[in-house]
Structure 1
Amino acid sequence: MKRHLTAAVAAGAVLAGATAAKAEGELFLYNWSNYFPPELLTKFEEETGIAVTLDVYDSNETMLAKLQAGAGGYDVIVPSGYMVAILIEEGLAQQIDTLSMSNGTKVVAPHDAPFFDPERLYSAPYMWGTTGFTYNSARVEDKLEESWKEFFEPRPELQGEIALLNDEVEVYNAAAYYLGFNKCTESPEEAQAILDLLEAQKPHVKMYQSDGTIDRMISGEVIMHHQWNGASHRTWVDLPTAVYVYPEEGITFWTDNFMIPTDAPNAENARTFINWMLAPENAAIASNFTGYMNAIEGSSDYLDDALKANPAVNMPPEFADRLRPSIDCSVPARELRNRVWTRLKS
């Protein structure tokens, strides 16, 4: 799927007469689907005169494979933390030195020095959140346990009513948490146990799909969905009986980031975009749309009250010890994980 969102060049020219000189040209944004407010792109176009084209993907691995295959033309990509490290390692991203940008001082700790890019030389923060699961409490007999057990060993009323993200890393991590394994295990035996768990669950899974998780829950197509917490928040807005679960065995804490590919055709426009997105008001507009928190000081002044009130986003402090950071696994661990995923999906 591809959407083109552009503002009129003539309108930009008119605005330029009353404001600072505008940049010209294009920007090609490659982002997760349904992960950027269209009105914010319009705002950027109107304020800068840069026309934006948005292309979308459904997983970090899809984006990586496209870049590895030599697909050019993208100016800004939005990888998760562990993928940032891989892109740097493979020479697929250029330095941007985020903290030296005019809005770089607004990046708050610990997002100013993440493990995958400690000096923020290659990346800038976008959204951060967790990956758990959501269920419709109106369609189950009793409240579910705060455990991955409900997800991997579903009760009778949930069998065939579950959807998983089509995401190799998130699915594998969840299984590893439930089994008590290191998600970066290099043990073939533990990887086999993860595969066994996923294959036992598979007959009860309606689909593996990362797109449309919000609409799928609201429409009642499934009762339970593997979800990012921002998507759960947006589900809850229209489905108040939706409950987001922080499993006691562990839940991934992740960050998504802006990067510029090595061969970006409009690198300077990309830098303009990234710095613009670090402004508090713009970061807050993105948070209000996505349902995730950002890492920008001062953005809370612009956040919706509903976002602040939902425990799916504003995590209860007692769940802090359940957070497991997203990390870059070793090559042997990644190869094991990929073999498990390939077998599961075959």
Structure 2
Amino acid sequence: MKRTLLGLATATAVSLAMASSAYAAGKLNIYNWGNYTNPKLIEKFEKAYGVEVTLDGYDSNETMLAKVKEGSTGYDIVVPGDYMIKIMIGEGLLAKVEPNKMENFSNMDPKWVDVWWDPGRSYSVPWQWGTTSFTVDTKVYTGDINTLKLLFEPPPELQGRINMLNDMNDVINAALRYLGYPRCNGDKDQLREATELLLKAKPYWRTMDYSIIEKLTSNDVDLSQSWNGAAMRARAQRPSLAYAYPKEGFTGWMDNVAVLSDAPNMENAKLFVNFVMDPENAALISDFAKYANGISGSDKFMDPEMLSAPEIVMPADAPTPDFVQPCPQETVDLYNKIWTRLKQ
């Protein structure tokens, strides 16, 4: 892919220069996960192109999708997770802006080019990638943290001190992993067993909330299901926290910058897509939220702590992260029934 695109570099650079000249003014409206965008990145983009940026936040892929499907949102840029990119492409919600023909595409780490959710990268580019596991206060619990047993059969010192993500897929898939069953699982007997496990564990959970950092740093809980970057940010304020790599497995994910098909500021949106593939700009993204980004050379500009943090650099004996693809609709319907029962 990279060899094919090298011949386009000069022509692409000229066209992008013309675009920045023609669109060195106006607006860009970004809809991203909350507490996930470095203000310095936005300031740099505004200064470079004379574009006024507005930023709104959401707390889940599903919240974002519902908003976008309403239509006429006024948003240009969204940052969906991997499986949601696939869904939105299928529903015609994303513009085919062809990042793979942009000047900075040569900076992309090759392993993130031919991804299952956007092969060849015609619609999206990496924002950040990471894992979903959990974080434990090792002063409160001193045993082995690398097992999902702590979520579903916790020891006395953790009971009532656990926060789970308010996320159907992350919670149900964790239960399936603990039982040794595959994800996106439509086997009714296995899902019934997972439901029983979740209902039995629920009394041990204090909350189900996306506010991971706040829950942990306020000492409201001693264990929280979490994303690895949020775990690193929480550890900066509560040093006894440790991020687990459970032997039963954990989720891998990538959030991606994409342009809505009805974006009112299409050319400025394309400028932003190219902008985030610059290594220095990708480093700004990672330095704020503490996740890896998928752009080669960005490590030279990152906070050095990122390069050795245990939440970012997985142990050699850790399982390979499980990137879960979209479930068939019949399985989604079964998940929804489990989730409704669990949240009652």
Point out 4+ residue stretches in structure 1 off by more than 6 angstroms: none
Kindly tell me: are residues 69 and 196 of structure 1, through their superposed partners in 2, closer, same or farther at Cα, counting changes over 3 Å? farther
Q: Distance in 2 between matches of 1:241 and 1:309?
A: 17
Tell me how far 1:214 sits from its aligned partner: 1.2
Counterpart of 1:221 in 2: which secondary structure?
Answer: coil
Q: Distance in 2 between matches of 1:102 and 1:159?
A: 52
Q: Distance in 2 between matches of 1:154 and 1:59?
A: 27
Segments of 5+ residues of structure 2 without an aligned counterpart are 1-19
Q: Which amino acid aligns with 1:41?
A: I
* Equivalent residue number for residue 178 of structure 2: 178
Q: Normalization by structure 1: what TM-score?
A: 0.90
Alignment of 1:18-97 (within 5 A): 23-70=24-71, 72-97=73-98
* Equivalent residue number for residue 130 of structure 1: 131
* Equivalent residue number for residue 251 of structure 2: 252
Counterpart of 1:185 in 2: which secondary structure?
Answer: coil
* Equivalent residue number for residue 236 of structure 1: 235
* Equivalent residue number for residue 205 of structure 1: 205
Tell me whether 119-128 or 69-78 shows the greater mean CA deviation.
69-78
Q: For 1:197-231, what per-residue CA distance to the aligned partner results, in whole angstroms no more than 9, with x for missing partners?
A: 22212112121111x31122122111001100010
Q: Distance in 1 between matches of 2:113 and 2:56?
A: 27
| 1:342 maps onto 2:343 in alignment | no
Q: Distance in 2 between matches of 1:192 and 1:28?
A: 43
* Equivalent residue number for residue 329 of structure 2: 331
Tell me how far 1:108 sits from its aligned partner: 0.7
Q: For 1:8-65, what per-residue CA distance to the aligned partner results, in whole angstroms no more than 9, with x for missing partners?
A: xxxxxxxxxxx96762111111111111111211111111111111111111111111
Q: Distance in 2 between matches of 1:36 and 1:261?
A: 18
Q: Which amino acid aligns with 1:293?
A: A
Kindly tell me: are residues 160 and 65 of structure 1, through their superposed partners in 2, closer, same or farther at Cα, counting changes over 3 Å? same
Q: Distance in 2 between matches of 1:77 and 1:180?
A: 34
Q: Normalization by structure 2: what TM-score?
A: 0.91
* Equivalent residue number for residue 192 of structure 1: 192
How many equivalent pairs are there? Answer: 325
Counterpart of 1:323 in 2: which secondary structure?
Answer: coil
Q: Distance in 2 between matches of 1:28 and 1:302?
A: 27
Q: Distance in 1 between matches of 2:82 and 2:111?
A: 13
Q: Which amino acid aligns with 1:151?
A: L
Q: Which amino acid aligns with 2:232?
A: H
Q: For 1:149-173, what per-residue CA distance to the aligned partner results, in whole angstroms no more than 9, with x for missing partners?
A: 1111111111111111111121122
Conserved 8 A contact 2:109-2:296: yes
Counterpart of 2:111 in 1: which secondary structure?
Answer: coil
Counterpart of 1:44 in 2: which secondary structure?
Answer: helix
Percent of aligned pairs sharing the same letter? 41
Q: Which amino acid aligns with 2:156?
A: P
Counterpart of 2:114 in 1: which secondary structure?
Answer: coil
Counterpart of 1:23 in 2: which secondary structure?
Answer: coil
* Equivalent residue number for residue 15 of structure 1: none
Q: Distance in 2 between matches of 1:251 and 1:90?
A: 28
Tell me how far 1:273 sits from its aligned partner: 0.8
Q: For the aligned residues, what is the CA RMSD? A: 1.5
Counterpart of 1:183 in 2: which secondary structure?
Answer: coil
Q: Distance in 2 between matches of 1:326 and 1:267?
A: 31
* Equivalent residue number for residue 5 of structure 2: none
Tell me how far 1:70 sits from its aligned partner: 2.8
Conserved 8 A contact 1:59-1:166: no
Tell me how far 1:326 sits from its aligned partner: 2.7
